Structure 1
């Protein structure tokens, strides 16, 4: 288990239990107590936990883990989802991407598809995103035009949120938007935990001809605080094979095309 995976696990334990000792953490992650003490010290320096004698406690906040700590979770599933989603894109399309680890995998797959490289003088693939990390990765690709919406940076997801994004989004049209979500349910629709992210995602969805939700199995059937769009607006759901067939059948009955990878 690498450092970020350990940090992710430690923060999740603290978010759930409120506290943990060095001995407990070392036993649960099968590493030395010295390693756990270093992890605690580094997380304390980042003001994400509070050190105690022999352990650590939560900082009294509801953890929303920064994106770099989430990347180790379900990485194989997210990679497959990213490749399958990218396969839906054709040359010259205008594609929207919000932030998150799964949409980052979509962006990386788009960047490596040779058939999307257009000849000189033709329309390039255009990526419209509110995620700074995605823009940073795509801007070096000569065959991709990158459009970044405005807003205030949310450090947990590297996304730009707030009303400054609205003027740009109102003036463009997307052929397709890929939305990573915190939850999607047949009855409740697609949703995010943070209302600012949900608002921007809803704007992007409203400007798209086709809405594609990308979500690993842990997000299916769940619920989150702020709705992005109802299920009737979703055209395609790309997920992994951990989702039971009877669950995906419910989405298909609701008119959503489901891709399981």
Structure 2
């Protein structure tokens, strides 16, 4: 890979930001074959110029609102953290349970952890999750129906919402791109609001599964407060003050 000078590298970082809405220090350091400290200096410089805002472990476009990201972009980030979260979430599922898996890369990891299990029914609004599990002999897969969202593979709209409103499940696992102690769960896509609200209501227990990078971030449309969840599972890099605030709000928090 050609080594870029500082100006070129910062331009590439901004290009990456405009495409994905966010960057992580570790990923940028690997991308440009430089130290994480160098990337932090780049981000601080770009923040002073007003191009971006710093977030935990990285940066987002100025304005701070998280955009909708393609599945491929989400799946490539924080993979080990998502696997640990998924293993913890899957351990909650018992034989005979009916569970609901929201769309997303973390819930897709939960689906992979369920492979080989038996006596489980999985309801999902995610086409990738349905494909992941449809050949598992011990798992019955129900798909909500609805309108497919390109590059995200989420099923949205009145058909999906009607299906979800008619359900009660043992566990509902919910993913997110933006969670904040004060503002709760938010999304850049208006059509996801009633869908996710229906998922949360369907669960006798609703569990938020989100790695630490998703916290202290906001998007345009509010879904619910964090207190709507029976449990939150995140990873050990979640800042202590965020963990303390979640627990103070009365929601059990598991860090893996």
TM-score of the superposition, structure 2-length normalised? 0.74
Tell me which moved more, 149-158 or 127-136.
Answer: 149-158
Query: Is the 8 Å Cα contact of residues 102 and 173 (structure 2) preserved in structure 1?
Result: yes
Residues 176-226 of structure 1 show CA distances to partners (whole Å, capped at 9, x for unaligned) of: 111111122222222222111232111111111111001111111222222
Mapping for residues 1-261 of structure 1, pairs under 5 Å: 12-15=16-19, 29-30=32-33, 64-112=68-116, 116-117=117-118, 124-261=119-256
Query: Is the 8 Å Cα contact of residues 78 and 105 (structure 1) preserved in structure 2?
Result: yes
SS at 2:69 equivalent: coil
Query: Is the 8 Å Cα contact of residues 15 and 63 (structure 1) preserved in structure 2?
Result: no
Superposition deviation, residue 148 in structure 1: 0.4
Which has more radius of gyration? Answer: 1
Over the residues paired in the alignment, what is the CA RMSD in angstroms? Answer: 2.7
Q: Distance in 2 between matches of 1:192 and 1:155?
A: 16
Q: Distance in 1 between matches of 2:20 and 2:195?
A: 29
Superposition deviation, residue 16 in structure 1: 7.9
Structure 2: stretches of 5+ with no match in the other structure: 2-12, 22-27, 34-65
Aligned length: 208
Residues 46-98 of structure 1 show CA distances to partners (whole Å, capped at 9, x for unaligned) of: xxxxxxxxxxxxxxxx9743212332211111111111111111111111111
Q: Distance in 1 between matches of 2:83 and 2:200?
A: 23
